[in-house]
Amino acid sequence: MGQRRLTNPKADDASKRPMQAKQKSNNSVLNATTTRKGEVFRAQRRTSEGVNMQASQHIINVPVNKSIYNGYSGKQFSLADQPKRPRAPRPTLKIIPIGGVGEMGIGKNMTAIEYDNDIIVIDMGFLFPGTDYPGINYITPDITWLEENKHRIRGHVFTHGHLDHIGAFRHLVPKIPAPVYASRFTIGMLQRTMEETDGSFEPQYNELNPEAHDIVQISDSFSIELIRVNHSIPDATAVVIRTPVGNILA
């Protein structure tokens, strides 16, 4: 057999490799640099990711709704955890029986109405005692609390002239003085009882006409109106007390 003669292999010609024709990039920065293209792309990606991360952190650190999220630390915000401002107590309407409730008989009718810094008093009667109180002619209400707050009493209002509603007037009104409001006949009965005293104290009487539906503003908290009612004595009335939180019919 004949022998084949082997030629020496030639060096690899890179110019003849397929797909080796360099395509010119549209990026002028890449064309002017000797840095490999992959490294440039990776650097661009790292920069882009860093910018996005910083932007997202910036958004998180400025919460839009603090009731849902409070900062990047992740601390939950709750209105219940926030310090509350102290509120001034609101005035309350109080109806305070001074007498006439739970008594051993009929009498000592007297009621205080309190709202904010104002007090008005309805009636001022006494009680005829039973046989358990020998030698006692009558019993009057305990007005200790009213005496302690007499500077806040704006007026005394009387519904009618029976003694269980006006009998203690001459004994008590000098201790808790304030303007007196009643119908004409009732004022006459009050004046009659005051004649039995030494006459050193003269109340300030204010006559109200139930037929005219007079409304009198006694204080910032109270206005009153007398309404005609049927009873066994002339000029008997009920009292409408108007307050900032509602009306009372007494």
Three-state secondary structure of the chain = CCCCCCCCCCCCCHHHCCCCCCCCCCCHHHHHCCCCHHHHHHHHHHHHHHHHHHHHHHHHCCCCCCCCCECCCCECCCHHHCCCCCCCCCCCEEEEEEECCCCCCCECCEEEEEECCEEEEECCCCECCCCCCCCCCCECCCCHHHHHCHHHEEEEECCCCCHHHHCCHHHHCCCCCCCEEECHHHHHHHHHHHCCCCCCCCCCEEECCHHHCCEEECCCCCEEEEEECCCCCCCCEEEEEEECCEEEEC
| pLDDT over threshold 50, residue 32 | yes
Residue 112: its pLDDT value, please? 98
pLDDT at 72: 45
Among the ranges given (59-68, 95-104, 146-155, 162-171), the one the predictor scored with the smallest mean pLDDT: 59-68
Identify the band that residue 19 occupies on the pLDDT scale cut at 50, 70 and 90: low
Question: Which has more confidence, 144 or 18?
Answer: 144
